[in-house]
Amino acid sequence: MLLGFVILYLVVSIGIGMYAATRVHNARDYISAGRSLPLYIVMAMVFATWFGAETVLGIPATFLEEDLGGLISDPFGASLCLVLFGLFFARKLYRMNLLTIADFYRARYDRRVEVITGIAIVLSYLGWVSAQITALGLVFNVLSDGQITQAQGILIGAAVVLMYTLYGGMWSVALTTFFQMIVIVLGLVYIAWLVSGLTGGVAPVIEHAAASGKFRFWPELNAVAMVAFISGLLTMGFGSIPQQDVFQRANTSKNENIAVWGTVLGGVAYFLFAAVPLFLAYSANLIDPALATRWLAEDSQKLLPELVKNHLPLFAQVIFYGALLSVIMSTASGTLLAPSVTLSENVLKGFFTHRKHLTDRKLLLMTRWVVGVFAVLVTLYALWALGEETGIHEMVENAYKVTLVVAFVPLVAGLYWSRASTTGAYLAIGLGLLTWIGLEITFPEGEGFMPPQFAGFLMACCGMIAGSYTAPRPQS
């Protein structure tokens, strides 16, 4: 019966997405919803896109295995990214009337920088989208009591998300995520209320976690630990700023003020509400210690779904899994569309410049094809990561390393430093990329003094400064 309700929910989501497709008349509608969305929709999209599988399954699993400091990248770094983007990037980029964030690199530097950063942005999404598809597979596996394997669940989930994203684009993302945000917030608040009744309130859970040392946040007072801590914050806090999904949500706004505050408020809401899954998962230690011990040993990501299935009534299970599916699908649809748009607009479209101008209709068709192809690649990556036993939280953390070392420095310098030159952008990308890859190969287990992506970020800063002073930008 529970699986039947879940299937019904999936059908409703597909229906909303297909209805949204009727609003798509050109590529700009498909990519940015005609820049016509109000504050509450933009805020809902920002919140629902970032409140993904890692927030409900991955972050609590990391918290249970480590402590609060293990969450420095997400939700702390992720929330920092959204607030920073809203305050310092949204207004400037909105005024440029761009279609994708990679368009900025072409306008500010040149076509080569656009292509390189565009490819980096696309690659960064493999891990993030795959994390959502992996989580869908996990949900189907748990709901079916193992009759549907996680690999089969991944295939089913990918097909569902692809179906409504392919046709409706950003309009589908906007309408489905608004519906899904309502389900997420009301559903998880209701589940938290039920769970608090089983634990004797919120206070006993907090006291138990504090006694277990789970609220340790700051690193040890040594250089290696502090650098790793800062790197964890900046990898997601800075690395996810030059991302199409963040830009795309701000760019759908009716005006620049909505672009700013929709992103900031969405980021604040994400940070505050991320505490709810932590409370739910940790409550298992009080409600059913044996269950908690078992799943911490086997797969901590399954602890919360198993707790709900074993200790809450059917109606609550329906609400929880509806909220969980909303969480996953809202993120998966948005993060599937974003790299596909970037790849078609900023990489593939350039190959048509020697022919007749690529019409809007052909660009829309090409973008939809790329969405389909990227969905296949993401599914294959998710199946591979499943074999490697890569955690959902880890998959999301790894996603932003490439954009931190390749795209962040040229974006900030291009917006805020008038001297930043194309040569500086080349050096920033080259030094950042080579340093990061070189250290990843040299220290594959991360035993070096400094995390490879953080060293790459510092070298990118040096490259931008050196290149811009030795080969200044021509004065117009």
So what's the pLDDT on residue 107? 94
What residue type is 248 in one-letter code? Q
**Separation CA 402–CA 310 (nearest Å):** 41
Average pLDDT rounded to a whole number, residues 88-111? 94
Residue 354 has pLDDT above 60, yes or no: no
Average pLDDT rounded to a whole number, residues 7-19? 78
Predicted structure pTM score: 0.86
The phi, psi pair for 37, rounded to 5°, reads -90, 145
- The partner residues of 253 in beta bridges, in order of sequence, read 37
461 by Cβ neighbours in 10 Å (0-12 / 13-18 / 19+) ranks as middle
Centre a 10 Å sphere on the Cβ of residue 149 and count the other Cβ atoms it contains.
14
Mean of pLDDT over the chain: 85
Under a CB-based contact definition with an 8 Å cutoff, are residues 339 and 399 in contact? Answer: no
Q: Which band of pLDDT confidence, cut at 50, 70 and 90, is reported for residue 356?
A: low
Pick from 133, 182, 193, 148: nearest CA to 12: 182
- The partner residues of 37 in beta bridges, in order of sequence, read 253
Chain position carrying tokens 């684009």: 169
Pick from 157, 113, 166, 109: nearest CA to 134: 157
**Separation CA 159–CA 177 (nearest Å):** 18
The CA radius of gyration of the chain, in Å to the nearest whole number, is 22
Under a CB-based contact definition with an 8 Å cutoff, are residues 264 and 87 in contact? Answer: yes
Residue 355 has pLDDT above 50, yes or no: no
Tokens of 329: 């699908």
Q: Which band of pLDDT confidence, cut at 50, 70 and 90, is reported for residue 298?
A: confident
Average pLDDT rounded to a whole number, residues 304-332? 82
Residue 222 has pLDDT above 90, yes or no: no
Average pLDDT rounded to a whole number, residues 237-260? 92
The percentage of the chain sitting over the pLDDT mark of 70, rounded to a whole number, equals 94
Residue 267 has pLDDT above 90, yes or no: yes
